[in-house]
Structure 1
Amino acid sequence: MKTALWLYLFLFIAFFDLHAQYPILTPFAISLGAAPSFIGLMMGLYSITHLPGNLMASVYVDRFGSRPFIVISLLLAGAILLFQAYVTNPWQLLLLRSIAGFVLAFLSPACLSLLARLSTDISEQGKLMAGNGLVHTLASVVSPAAGAFLVAKLGFTAAFYILGWILIITAILAMFFIKESKIAPVSKANQNAQPEISSPNHHTIEQSGDTLKSTSLSWKIFMIPIGLSCALGILTFELPLMVQNNGSIMTTGLLFTVISIGSLITLCMLFINKYNPAYRTILGTIALAVLYFLLASNLSIPFMLLLLLIGMCKGIVFPALSHWLIQVSDGERYGRTFSMLAIASSIGAFLGPFLAGHLRDFISPYFIAFVILAVALAFNALPERTPPKLTLPI
């Protein structure tokens, strides 16, 4: 538990630092002369460069442990922010954001893998994942407004410089205070003749004591994080552009904070964690798709209310998705499983801003998000007689 508390503290600082950039990157790129389509490409490349890092993490996090990757990711990300403070044209920013995407690709799989290995009890693992979501949300409640405030008072250069040093100091502290935790594998003798637990979409799960292990992991489950990341990437792309024309950078920070407050509300409803994580994921994604359809419809519904509800859906779906993956994954391969989750999220985060940047003049980006979420849900609703096994990188 001590390791979990330290990890939560460092995650809070890291997420605070990274989310503080959300409302300021788009105005910064525009100040350098970037067009909306270029900004969409920049945000997409940041996500797509996650892929090689995620693939490497899928192998090396399980082999070498989580701590080295957490420390190195934070250290290099801080150094990149220091360089980012002095860029003078959009292409330099594009290059640095692409490098940052690769560097930070190791952080999420390493953190989630370390949290999952802190316990063999599936209920306790679910609580740890909910705690990760709570820390993430707490950081994102205040960080967008804080980032916008820094820029308003000190300018882009000083803001990036301060945020860079925060990450570097956090990496140094993590080196000393995060301890690696290893869970002994469940013996084969204990795995024989165990009862099966039903799971949506025909995933078969075996129970051994208080742990759950899967016999198969369908590729369809990863369509959901692709859809979720695509939809949220579109929202992250659209909000600063909308405010750029009608408001200030502080307004952008406020809008992101409203989303985070919504997530905080549902994360504080601890009783939700008692329900099946697969059903929580599916129902939360359905609600999110409906909200994006309402955004695209331009109905007379308060925009702030829709953002708050989107945040509430996030607070339900993301911890539930991580918990679901723990249930349907091999207990000895958390690094690989969460790397596949990160890869799926990276693909979606690339598609979202890229499509929004190039199609926003022809169709509402929010409708694109609705369609992609609907397709992801349709894939998981399709029955399959023999679920294909997902081969994870070795």
Structure 2
Amino acid sequence: MPIWKRNLIVCWFGMFVTGVGMSQIAPVLPLYIKHLGVHNTALIEQFSGLAFGVTFIISAVFSPIWGHAADKFGRKPMLLRASLGMAIVIFSMGFATNVYMLIGLRLLQGVITGYSSACTTLIATQTDKEHAGWALGTLSTSSIAGSLLGPLIGGFIEENFGLQNIFFITGALMLVAFITTALYVKESFSRQDKKVLGTKQIWGIIPNKSLIITMFVTFFVLYMALYSVEPIITVYISQLSSNTGHVALLAGIAFSASGLASIISAPRLGKISDKIGPQKVMLVAIALSGLIFLPQAFVTNPWQLIVLRFLLGIATAGLAPSVNTLLKKITPEAFAGRIFGFNMSAGYLGAFGGSLLGGQVAAYLGIKYVFFITSTLLLINTIWVYFKVFKKLSLNNKLGTQLEQA
């Protein structure tokens, strides 16, 4: 088996567990905060929002820093640092004695992040051009599926094994990721830029700045769209369901439908992008995602929503690998860690912004407007991608073909 394929398998598992670790606390957070001694409903809501959001905000700050370290010291050391650190921190959450300790540990979890960006950089820089789209597409399924299935996994563990065991089991899985990374990930790292350059200097050197910014914004909008429904999906299911006894199960299925669809379709869409170009897959994927959000506002039963969420997962699965493949093509390898780190920061900010947007819009305007606004954001981004990415790259490809024929 080629080294890049073995690395891909290990990174897939690690990124999946990392995604679960970031999001599995969402459905049980109010219960755990109440378990820690907070009984006022308003305080539980405030602490829940703070404990959930602080990880993503701090991760957005530290992801480029760890990306810089990955360019300087290698990607494997960053994988080992992040997986072992998260194993210890998440496991320790099970021993929290008050809500402030829990929030402090969630903050620390954000500080030691960097596994996903280091994995993406490792696979992007080691995989040959012919298989880059497929490899990054396969890798993207792990993070998205982990994030979307995390709440379902957290709810299942809480119901069957108890609140504290959510953290113990997830921490143990991260420890397994650390061990498999140490044993099986291989990297022949040679630092290309001997002189340490600052962010401004790197930005001055990198070509296609407007294209990179468009990729960051697209990644931000993707994660905002994925997370905008997270705060309100259980409430929406309860409104649609005539049998309130199965609301939790139906909400879990609705959560997992997108993740399952992404796992199935992302590698295939990545392979297609290798053949026809990632910019084409990206344009179609983001347009379809925006259109599929609209009918979710008009469903009349939970199963209609679940089907549309599955279709949404197929569409969004084409976005992350396309973004990462384009970033691989236009970024010098010496700075890949930092660029992928900034891209991951955009994703974390999108996750936080989406959760905030979904909750606030649902509270003030109604749940249906969450789907309207998210759809509008995706369709606006589609227009921007068309002019800034699709047309530009299509023109460059056409000129390149004409020069070759001449």
Bin of the TM-score, shorter chain as denominator length: 0.7 to 0.9
**Aligned pair in 2 of structure 1 residues 345, 167: CA closer, same or farther (>3 Å)?**
same
Answer with 233-242 or 45-54: which moved more: 233-242
Answer with 257-266 or 7-16: which moved more: 7-16
Query: d(CA) in 2 for partners of 1:322 and 1:294?
Result: 29
How far off its partner does 1:90 sit? 4.4
Query: d(CA) in 1 for partners of 2:145 and 2:350?
Result: 24
Which residue is equivalent to 1:224? 218
How far off its partner does 1:144 sit? 5.6
**Aligned pair in 2 of structure 1 residues 23, 66: CA closer, same or farther (>3 Å)?**
closer
Q: Which of the residues 159, 162, 167 maps onto 1:155?
A: 162
Equivalent pairs: percent with the same residue?
20
**Aligned pair in 2 of structure 1 residues 320, 3: CA closer, same or farther (>3 Å)?**
closer
Per-residue CA deviation, residues 176-212 of structure 1 (Å, 9 max, x unaligned), is 3222234797xxxxxxxxxxxxxxxxxxxxxxxxxxx
Query: d(CA) in 1 for partners of 2:144 and 2:217?
Result: 23
Query: d(CA) in 2 for partners of 1:58 and 1:269?
Result: 28
Q: Does 1:126 align with 2:127?
A: no
Letter in 2 for 1:349: A
How far off its partner does 1:319 sit? 1.2
Q: Does 1:102 align with 2:111?
A: yes
Q: Which of the residues 49, 61, 79 maps onto 1:70?
A: 79
Which residue is equivalent to 2:119? 111
- SS of equivalent to 1:181: coil
Could you tell me whether the CA contact under 8 Å between 1:12 and 1:138 is conserved in 2?
no
**Aligned pair in 2 of structure 1 residues 183, 370: CA closer, same or farther (>3 Å)?**
farther
How far off its partner does 1:146 sit? 4.4
Which residue is equivalent to 1:257? 256
Query: d(CA) in 2 for partners of 1:307 and 1:140?
Result: 15
How far off its partner does 1:322 sit? 1.0
Could you tell me whether the CA contact under 8 Å between 2:10 and 2:185 is conserved in 1?
no
Q: Which has the higher helix share?
A: 2
Could you tell me whether the CA contact under 8 Å between 2:229 and 2:358 is conserved in 1?
no
Coordinate RMSD, CA, aligned: 3.3
Which residue is equivalent to 2:296? 295
**Aligned pair in 2 of structure 1 residues 241, 73: CA closer, same or farther (>3 Å)?**
farther
Query: d(CA) in 1 for partners of 2:238 and 2:22?
Result: 15
Q: Which of the residues 43, 52, 59 maps onto 2:68?
A: 59
- Number of equivalences: 358
Could you tell me whether the CA contact under 8 Å between 2:134 and 2:268 is conserved in 1?
no
Q: Does 1:272 align with 2:272?
A: yes
Query: d(CA) in 2 for partners of 1:133 and 1:143?
Result: 15
Could you tell me whether the CA contact under 8 Å between 2:21 and 2:150 is conserved in 1?
yes
Could you tell me whether the CA contact under 8 Å between 2:89 and 2:109 is conserved in 1?
yes
Query: d(CA) in 2 for partners of 1:184 and 1:115?
Result: 16
- SS of equivalent to 1:26: coil
Letter in 1 for 2:378: L
Per-residue CA deviation, residues 74-110 of structure 1 (Å, 9 max, x unaligned), is 1111112122113355444333222212222x11221
Query: d(CA) in 2 for partners of 1:369 and 1:248?
Result: 24
Could you tell me whether the CA contact under 8 Å between 2:257 and 2:310 is conserved in 1?
yes
Which residue is equivalent to 1:233? 227
TM-score, structure 1 as length reference: 0.79
TM-score, structure 2 as length reference: 0.77
Which residue is equivalent to 2:370? 365
How far off its partner does 1:61 sit? 1.0
How far off its partner does 1:63 sit? 0.8
- SS of equivalent to 2:229: helix
Which residue is equivalent to 2:338? 336
Query: d(CA) in 1 for partners of 2:22 and 2:238?
Result: 15
Q: Does 1:376 align with 2:384?
A: no
Could you tell me whether the CA contact under 8 Å between 2:86 and 2:174 is conserved in 1?
yes
- Gapped regions of structure 2 (runs ≥ 5): 35-42, 193-204, 394-406
